[in-house]
Structure 1
């Protein structure tokens, strides 16, 4: 078995994890920043007088966003519901559906945080095995080459830990952003539910 090839493969996998982590961090960072701005803007605009989406400022409805989708769904349906309980159940279902979209792709970052140190440790072990095999064949003719081989092997562990530390920082940061966004979504859900629900028409009794 070619240990050198496996050692290089472990490095390639870690580089791929680093590139994927950077993509998720940038994409989620932009998403959370935009969603937070839209949510706070809608909170300021959502007064008790707003009963239709067209009554909101055009700047907040020009581009699609997660908070706007939640408000739009509730405002569009609330006038067709007959009881406060129906409105409450519907708004809760919309909130749960939209809340799940915030968590998208974070499992990738969580997996990289766990896998990167293990890949680094695997690369170190494979590198040390490859170095010892070379020593067994040629002997210790140059101690500098041995130190270089061990250093290269340990670099894999350092790289894996570095990827995990950066990924963990942004994962925890995004978890805090998710809690704040969910709080904003709850506020928007409650404000969108404010208003008159169409009362259920009562049947008239005809006396013969």
Structure 2
């Protein structure tokens, strides 16, 4: 078995992990930044007077977003529900269905953080084995070549650890962003529901006269 080929395969896998990690970091970073801005903007705009999505500012409705999807679903359905308990159950189901979107593709980053050091260690082991095999065949005729082979093998471990450290930093940062976004989604859920609940206590006309429900 050619250990040199396996050693190179381990390097290619680590380069692929690095490229995939960069893609996930950039994509999720843009998504979290945009979603957080939209959530904060909607939170400020969602007053008790807002009963329909069309009453929100145009700049918040012009582009689709996770917070807007949550608010839209609740505002569209809450006037057709019979009781506050039904509204509470429906809003909870909408929140649970939408919050899962913020976790998308993070499992890839988590897997890379775990796998990269192991691939690096595998590359180092294969590289050292290949170096020792070369020594067994030709002996120590060129110490510099042996040192270079071992250095290349150890580079695999350093590369794997480096990928894992960068990935872990962004993974933990994204977890903090997820908590913040979920907190804002909960606030939006409550504000989208409270207009209907408060409105049920207001006087309403009945046969030409005001009737208190």
**Matches of 2:21 and 2:195, distance apart in 1:** 44
1:154 aligns with 2:154: yes
- What secondary structure does 2:25 align onto? helix
- What secondary structure does 1:47 align onto? coil
| 1:150 positional shift | 0.3
**Matches of 1:55 and 1:196, distance apart in 2:** 15
Give the corresponding residue for 1:26.
Answer: 26
TM-score, length-scaled by structure 1: 0.94
1:158-192 CA deviation, whole Å, 9 max, x = no partner?
00000000000000000000000000000000000
| 1:194 positional shift | 1.1
Q: How does 1:37-186 map to 2 (within 5 A)?
A: 37-186=37-186
TM-score, length-scaled by structure 2: 0.92
Give the corresponding residue for 2:206.
Answer: none
Give the corresponding residue for 2:207.
Answer: none
**Matches of 1:145 and 1:128, distance apart in 2:** 12
- Over the aligned positions, Cα root-mean-square deviation in angstroms equals 1.0
| 1:53 positional shift | 0.3
1:35 aligns with 2:35: yes
| 1:195 positional shift | 2.0
**Matches of 2:135 and 2:196, distance apart in 1:** 83
**Matches of 1:131 and 1:51, distance apart in 2:** 72
**Matches of 1:114 and 1:196, distance apart in 2:** 48
Unpaired stretches in structure 2, ≥5 consecutive residues: 201-213
- What secondary structure does 1:33 align onto? helix
| 1:55 positional shift | 0.3
In the alignment of these two chains, the number of paired residues is 199
**Matches of 1:82 and 1:52, distance apart in 2:** 18
1:3-51 CA deviation, whole Å, 9 max, x = no partner?
0000000000000000000000000000000000000000000000000
**Matches of 1:119 and 1:103, distance apart in 2:** 25
**Matches of 2:102 and 2:141, distance apart in 1:** 58
| 1:79 positional shift | 0.4
**Matches of 1:196 and 1:90, distance apart in 2:** 13
**Matches of 1:65 and 1:47, distance apart in 2:** 19
**Matches of 2:39 and 2:100, distance apart in 1:** 16
- What secondary structure does 2:51 align onto? coil
